[in-house]
Structure 1
Amino acid sequence: MPEQFHRPVRRPTSAFDNIVAPSDPAEQSRVAHATASALLERARSDESGAVAERLLAFASQHGIDEIAELWAHAPARSLPGALWRLYLLQVAIRTDAGLTALLYERGRVELPTADAAIAGAPAPADPEELVALVDTILRGVFRGDFSVALERAAAYCRVQASGATHTADDYERTEPRRASELTRRALRLATYADDLAAAAGAWRRGTLV
């Protein structure tokens, strides 16, 4: 995914600064874990699913940059770290669904594993279907088996990483700069996959905080 998805552009408000002083890492970490836990607990405790749907709708239309900015600094294999990576996946697909679909399809064809089946997208998947897949995974985070949702997200990242790697190879001789961008994207997605899979295991053990 493009470099800017390390940290989505924040909207011009000062709400984050009002929550916690950026110069206080310990307090920042505490608030990151507290907000992640509270958000997840609130959504998962609502059996109707209305809270989860409102969260998805709000995030897709407005983003959650201010809260997610807190999570960006959390350890990768923590609850806020996992939510941050899921948020980045949603940002990426909604920012460039066409490229995401192209890389996913290439990865699905090339990757000799069950990851595409685990992720659960149609074969082949068009951009709208991949947007729906990511939303379905997020619904699983808020309503279903959280560890399964994380594993699906990890599988999705592995398929995307495979697609980016093979597409980078295609561009290596003719467009080396483009090849380098895709290679970085593949490495980032592969790292996300490892982190999300580890978070899934930690959730099952009751140690994901």
Structure 2
Amino acid sequence: MSNDFHHKPALFDGSAFEAFQGGEDPAKINRVAHETAGALLSRVRDDPDPAVIDRLLAFTDDHGIDAIAELWSRASAHSLPGSLWRIYLLRALILQDPEQAAYFFERGSQGIPGIDPVVAGAESPTGPKEITELADQILRGLFTGDFAIALDRASAFCRIMAHGCAAIADEAELGAPDTASTLTTRALRFETIGDDLSQSATLWRHDNLD
């Protein structure tokens, strides 16, 4: 991983994404997750200081994805901390290997039906630079723009990535079955997170995302 993106040695193992299963039952969620997520979002949206937002964007670059995971990864998928965790997780995955992420995204954009590429809002063609900018735009949108739209963009991104991973997995199935299996698992993870974020966007619009 390039030092342009991280100031410490690699702090995010892609295998964590493959093993991602989502949040726990709401009854088991740590209250601190909700309090910290709510306080952070309110603080920044009430006074969107560009310097503060820049630090939030770079937080996992400096401290690692584990620092966020300790706060929010156990929260329900359809909650404020759970949604923030998923956006940070997606950004960390992109920065782990922006060239690979861009390749998956481009493959997905070429074949996916509907308007997801438009909703996601990446520049086309989408290379490593553009996919990295998209990750930052989505995360920044949580703090400065319409929160639901930011979640919708992330959800569309996930569906595109799932489509791209699945397409490449199909091509690899005969010659590289292990690779095909890994990509199929990754496609399912993207699809699950995309669904979660879409539901969270709906909840936010109805003032029910706690």
After TM superposition, the score normalised by the length of structure 2 is: 0.86
Distance 2:77 2:179 in 1: 27
- Aligned equivalents of 2:203, 2:33: Cα separation in 1: 18
Q: 2:94 maps to what in 1? A: 93
Equivalence map 1:59-208=2 (5 Å): 59-208=60-209
Q: Secondary structure at the match of 1:47?
A: coil
1:4 to 3, 16, 19: 16
Distance 2:174 2:168 in 1: 12
Q: Where in structure 1 are there 5+ consecutive unaligned residues?
A: 9-24
Which string of whole-angstrom CA distances, capped at 9 and with x for unpartnered residues, describes residues 53-107 of structure 1? 2211233333352243231111111111101110110110011111111100000
Displacement of 1:151 after TM fit? 0.2
Seq. identity, %: 50
Deviation at 1:203, TM superposition (A): 0.5
Secondary structure, counterpart of 2:75 in structure 1: coil
Other structure's SS at 1:77 match: coil
Change (3 A) 1:35 1:27: farther
Q: Deviations over 1:15-59 (max 9, x none)?
A: xxxxxxxxxx97861011111111111111113333212211233
Does the 8 A contact of 1:94 with 1:131 survive in 2? yes
Q: Conserved in 1, the CA contact under 8 Å of 2:17 and 2:189?
A: no
Q: Secondary structure at the match of 1:208?
A: coil
Once residues 58 and 77 of structure 2 are traced to their aligned partners in structure 1, the CA distance between those partners, rounded to angstroms, is 25
What is the count of residue pairs matched by the alignment? Answer: 193
Amino acid at match of 1:129: E
Report the 3-state secondary structure (helix = DSSP H, G, I; strand = E; otherwise coil) of the residue aligned with 1:139: helix
- 1:32 touches 1:74 (CA, 8 Å); kept in 2? yes
CA distance in 1 between partners of 2:19 and 2:162 (Å) = 19
In the other structure, the counterpart of 2:39 is: 38
Alignment match, 1:58: 59
Cα 1:199–1:66, aligned 2, differ >3 Å: closer, same or farther?
same
Amino acid at match of 1:162: H
Distance 2:129 2:164 in 1: 18
Match of 1:18 in 2: none
- The C-alpha deviation readout for 1:97-149, integer Å capped at 9, x for no partner, is 11111100000001011001100001110011101111001111011000000
Task: Mark the CA change 1:165 to 1:6 in structure 2 (over 3 Å): closer, same or farther.
Answer: closer
User: Aligned-residue CA RMSD in angstroms?
Assistant: 2.0
Contact 2:65–2:92, Cα closer than 8 Å, also in 1: no
Contact 1:5 1:91 in 2 (8 A): no
Q: Does the CA contact (< 8 Å) of 2:141 and 2:150 recur in 1?
A: yes
In 2 relative to 1, CA 26–193 (structure 1 residues): closer, same or farther, beyond 3 Å?
closer
TM-score, reference length from structure 1: 0.86
Cα separation, partners in 2 of 1:26 and 1:111, compared to 1, 3 Å:
closer
